[in-house]
Amino acid sequence: MEERRFDNLTRVLGGATSRRQLLKGMVGVALGAVFASAGGRLPRLALAANPTCNGESYDPSSQCCEPAGVQPRHPIADLASCPDRVPHPGHVPSFNGCGPAQGWIRHVIPNKIGPYRNVDFTPACNNHDICYDTCNTEKSTCDQNFLADLHAACATAYPGNGYFDRYMRAGCEADAYIYYVAVSQTQGGIVAYESAQKEACDCCPTCEECGGPDDERCCQGVCHDPCPEGQQRDPDTCSCDPCFGQEDGTVCGTNEVCCQEQCLSNQCPSPKQFSLDTCNCQCPPANCPTGQRQDPDTCQCVDLCANVTCGECETCDPTSGDCLPSADQTPCGNGQVCCGGTCQNSCGCTPSQCQGGGEICCTGAGGYTYCCYSTQVCCDSANGCCWT
């Protein structure tokens, strides 16, 4: 069984595979190289406007000026052209054991080997994944540590000095060497390491021209002019703001204070006062008697209905100051009356409200409303009424 799996291993090594597949495509009791997966990354930005690199214009928000010329900041295109690599912000090294995350190979690359699957190579594979996927690690160091971890797994499974343990441990270490060779002595291992490093690193530091990402002048990856004394930089706009991060009421200029991180004038016409709750001028609280309210313009106590403008068929309620519908038949407009809160023709709201006894209300030609006695009916004529 182990011999057949070793044959499968050599066939896998002979084929062209992807970064993870080639590194992890060794079978045998295991093939275990490990690579980093790249998740969503936040882009890094950089320095000033309209820069040039050896005479060539470039965008520092996504590119770096290197001795080899303009290079993409992330993901890196060529590691050799980026000698000053720095960790990519937010990058977290990934791992998934000794098999690839996807593909058929994951079914034939075991994490555990041995007749009872008692040798666990999973921690060694995970550590190797993390090492490759950590910016600026040395490939040879990752590989040597990988082999040491594999041997430690064999010693844990077969710790004794008797013949059986020594025999099984030697076989386990032989299998471990297959894992090691797959990542340390193949082109696939080199490709896997470089692929992981390109995702884990940025080609050049952010804001290197003005002291790095921790410098006050560095905002959203771009170098800016220093803020004046007493001002702080707003990380969203990158502008210098005397009120950013300051408590409400902090003086920010002549007759100005900070309110909700805005620098506003606190000068108000008497008797109004500046309110830090609303960030504007308003009247001081007043104890107005029942039936009165504080006028927002003069700050004086006035009747509830003072300066209240209601609609054509509305009346101000002196106890609440609200506009309420006027009573039906209240005069309005030009010879009209209020009906249900709207101004209608003078004949009234219902037939019983016509002027005089026994009249009915109807609409004639042209939209006019007429009142007719009960002995007449509404007609399409000049006066709108006809004899019965």
pLDDT in tens, the chain (388 residues): 344 443 444 344 333 333 333 334 343 333 333 323 333 333 333 334 567 888 899 887 788 889 999 999 999 999 999 998 999 988 999 998 886 555 555 556 788 888 889 999 999 999 999 999 999 999 999 999 999 999 999 999 999 999 999 999 999 999 999 989 988 998 988 998 999 999 999 998 888 778 777 788 888 777 888 998 888 888 888 889 899 889 999 999 899 999 999 999 999 999 999 999 999 999 998 899 988 999 988 899 999 998 889 998 999 999 888 999 998 878 887 767 787 888 876 555 654 445 555 555 565 444 445 566 555 565 655 555 665 5
Tokens representing 221 are: 């990856």
DSSP 98: B
**21, part of any domain:** yes
Tell me which residue of 369, 364, 333 sits closest to 348, measured CA to CA: 369
**238, part of any domain:** yes
d(CA 88, CA 281): 49
DSSP 326: P
The number of distinct structural domains making up the chain is 2
**80, part of any domain:** yes
**366, part of any domain:** no
Q: Looking at the structure, do residues 37 and 102 belong to the same domain, yes or no?
A: yes
Contact 223, 206 (CB under 8 A): no
Rounded to 10 degrees, the C-alpha dihedral 135/137/139/141 comes to: -160
Cβ partners under 8 Å of residue 138, min gap 6: none
**175, part of any domain:** yes
**157, part of any domain:** yes
Q: Looking at the structure, do residues 180 and 261 belong to the same domain, yes or no?
A: no
The amino acid sitting at 350 is T
d(CA 214, CA 117): 50
d(CA 31, CA 43): 34
**176, part of any domain:** yes
Domain termination residue (choose one: 258, 282, 306): 282
**263, part of any domain:** yes
Beta bridge partners of 262: 259
Confidence (pTM): 0.49
Specify the residue for token string 């220093």. 226
Whole-Å CA distances, 194 to 100, 190, 198, 281, 354:
17, 6, 6, 63, 97
User: Residue 59 sits in which domain range?
Assistant: 2-202
